[in-house]
Amino acid sequence: MKTSDWMKKAESLQEDAVALRREFHRYPEWALGEYRTASRIVEILRKYGFQVEYGPAVMDPSALVSLPSREQTEGWMKRALEEGADPETVKAMQGGLTGIVGILQGSGPGKTVAFRFDIDCNAIDEATADHRPAEEGFASCHARSMHACGHDGHVAIGLTLARLLAENKDRLCGRVKLIFQPAEEGVRGAAAMVAAGVADDVDFFFGGHIGINQTESHTLAASAGDFLAVRKYEGIFHGKSSHAGLAPQEGRNALLAAAHATLALHAIPRHADGATRINVGVFTAGGSINAVPDRARIAFEVRGQTSEIKDHLCGEAERILRASADLQGVSVEIHTLGEGESFDADPEFAEDVARTAESAGIYRRVDRYRPMRASEDCTLFLRRVAERGGKGSYLLFGTELKAVHHNPKFDFDESVLAESAALLAVLAERYTKE
């Protein structure tokens, strides 16, 4: 099969790819609660003859952070079952273990090539007017939940790729692994899959995203880099309540400790070696106007151009939280909510990917490199593969957007689905034979 034939085959599956995208768009699910989504992925991969692993086989529970409450989890599982999820699959994934790996063995010996697709949604209410999903009947049916970042498209690309490869596996050597990762939003799903060893046998690894810094349809960036390393935190301050009028001296003010920490975090000096970002995005405290607040919570993130800069900022941030608590005579709990690292692909490998994409004749233009200047926990997979001697790249699939990512009117050009699946099939054939 010539590489151009992959695109012809993918084009014949475009209508099915669109149907998949719209199904997943209609049933969005939050991070570590993607039970219906994951159940459907398992069902479809099995239909195509993949060996399918999921739940604790591909996610280390001890590496999960910021788990949803038991009440939330039970509610999401119940809703997924009502919406057609398989009960046995859902049961095996309880506790947020919603990752899936599909494995396809080629016709002979060769390399292992992996592709990663994220599956969670955003906590956003979808637009109801001047918005194609609403007008054509596939808008979200879940309150405060929307695929506003294109992960529904990623799932559709992954499953279309699965079908392409399954129907033409005589063209493959070695193995292909399709990794469907939960909880990319908040950068907290990849760590558990990496800890479970999902990437340890991978020779070539590809992540990717639609529309990020690549907003012309029928274009590709063969390598994205300049990922900002990130760590997300919460600080919970515990003080002592007292009557604010009768005995204020008896109280220990958690709100003031959190306020001091918020200001001090934003005052951390920037780093000479690269870009930094600091943001406190959540602050909650108190409960009564005449009581000294005994509890406060802040949630924040620090980002650095390199993992080393990020680690420096983390040390400063944790010191500030402890010092702010001590200043007010309160205690503080510090929890990590998610993490991603910096990453840049090997330049020679990125160039080889670009040339392979150009030879496939799929795209109007192939760009060599595009800076991200954002964060992604796919970097944990990419770094793990690199540590073990493999190579990887993060692809940017070009598509026109109706609104920016994480916006209630986000939508994209669905032609990106078939051509992205075709490119990944080209890469699977090329690198399993490397």
Model pLDDT, residue 351:
98
Take residue 141 and report the two structure tokens written for it. Answer: 């049916």
What element of type H or E holds 281? strand 276-285
Strand intervals (E) in 18-122: 51-54, 100-105, 112-118
Query: Does residue 159 sit in the same domain as residue 219?
Result: yes
- Residue of 310, 306, 342 lying closest to 233 (CA atoms): 310
Query: Does residue 126 sit in the same domain as residue 205?
Result: yes
Beta bridge partners of 178: 102, 115
Query: Does residue 382 sit in the same domain as residue 407?
Result: yes
pLDDT tens digits, one per residue of 256-312? 999 999 999 999 999 999 999 999 999 999 999 999 999 999 999 999 999 999 999
Query: Does residue 155 sit in the same domain as residue 177?
Result: yes
Q: Which of 289, 322, 340 is the last residue of a domain?
A: 340
Model pLDDT, residue 245:
97
The CATH number that applies at residue 258 is 3.30.70.360
Q: What angle do CA 27, 177, 339 make, to 5 degrees?
A: 65
Model pLDDT, residue 74:
97
Task: Please list the helix, strand and coil fractions of the chain in percent, rounded to the nearest 5, in that order.
Answer: 40, 20, 40
Query: Does residue 182 sit in the same domain as residue 102?
Result: yes
Compute CA distances 348 → 155, 186, 356, whole Å. Answer: 29, 31, 12
Query: Does residue 397 sit in the same domain as residue 420?
Result: yes
- Residue of 188, 174, 178, 128 lying closest to 155 (CA atoms): 178
Contact 20, 155 (CB under 8 A): yes
DSSP designation for 103: E
The CATH number that applies at residue 48 is 3.40.630.10
**Domain enclosing residue 248, as ranges:** 229-340
Cα atoms in the 13 Å half-sphere on the side-chain side of 349: 22
Query: Does residue 315 sit in the same domain as residue 327?
Result: yes
Per-10-residue mean pLDDT for the chain, 434 residues long? Answer: 81 98 98 98 98 98 95 98 98 98 96 98 98 98 98 98 97 97 97 98 98 97 96 98 98 98 97 97 97 98 97 98 98 97 95 97 97 95 98 98 98 98 98 95
Model pLDDT, residue 2:
58
Find how far residue 49's CA is from the centre of its chain: 26
Tokens 């001047």 appear where? Answer: 130
Query: Does residue 295 sit in the same domain as residue 336?
Result: yes
C-alpha torsion sign, points 210, 211, 215, 220: negative
As for how many domains the chain has, the answer is: 2
Instruction: Tell me the whole-structure pTM to 2 decimals.
Output: 0.96
- Residue of 187, 202, 190 lying closest to 59 (CA atoms): 190
Find how far residue 40's CA is from the centre of its chain: 18
Query: Does residue 33 sit in the same domain as residue 160?
Result: yes
Query: Does residue 52 sit in the same domain as residue 149?
Result: yes
Model pLDDT, residue 1:
46
Q: Which of 322, 340, 358 is the last residue of a domain?
A: 340
> Phi and psi at residue 415, in whole multiples of 5°?
-65, -15
pLDDT tens digits, one per residue of 318-352? 999 999 999 999 999 999 999 999 999 999 999 99
Query: Does residue 325 sit in the same domain as residue 365?
Result: no
Q: Which of 315, 340, 365 is the last residue of a domain?
A: 340
Query: Does residue 170 sit in the same domain as residue 220?
Result: yes
